[in-house]
Structures are given as C-alpha cells and as structure tokens.
Amino acid sequence: MKKTERQYNEWLDGAMSPTDSEKYERKLGPSDHRLRHIWPEIREALRDHSKQIALAHPDFVNARVLDKIQRPPHPRHTSRISLPRLAWLGTLLLCLFAGGAVLFLPPNTPSRSAADFMSQVISARSANPEISAYSFQIPHGRGSVIWLDNPGYIPADEQVQ
C-alpha cells in the first residue's frame, strides 16, 4: 500500500492524530469530507451483509497467500542488449570487416599484358542463337581452342565465325 493510500485510510478510520488530520484535510475535497461522515455506516453495512465464502482447502489457500506476501518481488527483467552495446557491436563488426578486407582482398595490381597469360579469349560467335561459342588463343599463335555450349547436332553447313 502506498503512503498516500495508508494516510487516506488512517484519516477515514479516524486513526490519525487531530493535528495530522487537520493538515491532511486541507489537501482533500468536499466529497472526501462527506464520505468520512458516512464511512462508519458503510463499513458496518458491509460487515453485516457480506457472507463468508467457504473454501474447499482453506489451509492451502492461506499458505499460498502468505507465501506470495512473504516472497520478495521479482527483479525487473533487463535485456542484455542495450543501445550502447549495439553501437559498440556495430563498430566492432565494421572494424573486423575492414581488417578482413585488408587481409583477404588482393591489393591493386597493375594491369598485365596479353603475353603474361597462358591463353586469351578471342571473339567467337555462332549464327545459331542456341549455340554459344567461346574461343581461346594461346599467345604467340601456338594454337587456339573453340568451346561450344549446347551444340546438339551441328549440320555440315553451320559455320562458327
């Protein structure tokens, strides 16, 4: 029970000292003063007309209620992931990504000439759009390879240029 609720109940029951009661009454409105005059009648009517409910297992219910009252309140569940932690985690991941890029990606190398490679792709095309043609030429004119995808049956009159 909050302090204000406790004070209100003490004032309503007349358990406050007269000086404290006068101080407290200054804070209250006229409806509270009317309620204080009829409160003893309401309390007696409630006691006279309320029925006691018979419980099937009163000892068990009382033990559970007392256990709940005596149990300390549960601490508020706080999340382990907060906004500052997310910010630091993002910064760490960016640093790891940058470090990985520096370590694993090759540095800029100057462009190489055609003679540095074992083979070179040269232009090849087929008149039939269903056939894909690729050709590779070994440097210094020592040979070339033509690769055809999806040729199926190639008629004798079909030409690759």
**8 A C-beta contact, residue 122 and residue 100:** no
Domain ranges of the chain: 3-70, 117-161
Instruction: Decide if pLDDT at 110 tops 60.
Output: yes
Task: Give the model confidence (pLDDT) of 116-145 as tens digits.
Answer: 766 666 666 667 777 777 666 666 666 666
Alpha carbons 124 and 134: distance in angstroms, whole number: 6
Task: Give the residue-averaged pLDDT of 98-109.
Answer: 86
Q: What is the pLDDT of residues 30-48, one digit of tens each?
A: 888 788 888 888 888 888 8
What pLDDT, on a 0 to 100 scale, did the predictor assign at position 97?
Answer: 96
pTM tops 0.85, yes or no: no
Of the pLDDT bands very low, low, confident and very high (cuts 50, 70, 90), residue 154 is low
Average of pLDDT values for 73-97? Answer: 87
| Stretch among 49-58, 66-75, 80-89, 114-123 having the lowest mean pLDDT | 114-123
Query: Regarding predicted confidence, which is higher, 12 or 66?
Result: 66
Tell me the pLDDT of the chain averaged across its residues: 79
DSSP 117: S
Which residue has better confidence, 73 or 92? 92
The answer to whether 119 and 137 are in contact (CB under 8 A) is: yes
Q: Which residue from 138, 131, 148 is spatially nearest to 114, judged by alpha carbons? A: 138
Residue partners of 124: CB distance under 8 A and separation at least 6 = 133, 134, 135, 146, 160, 161
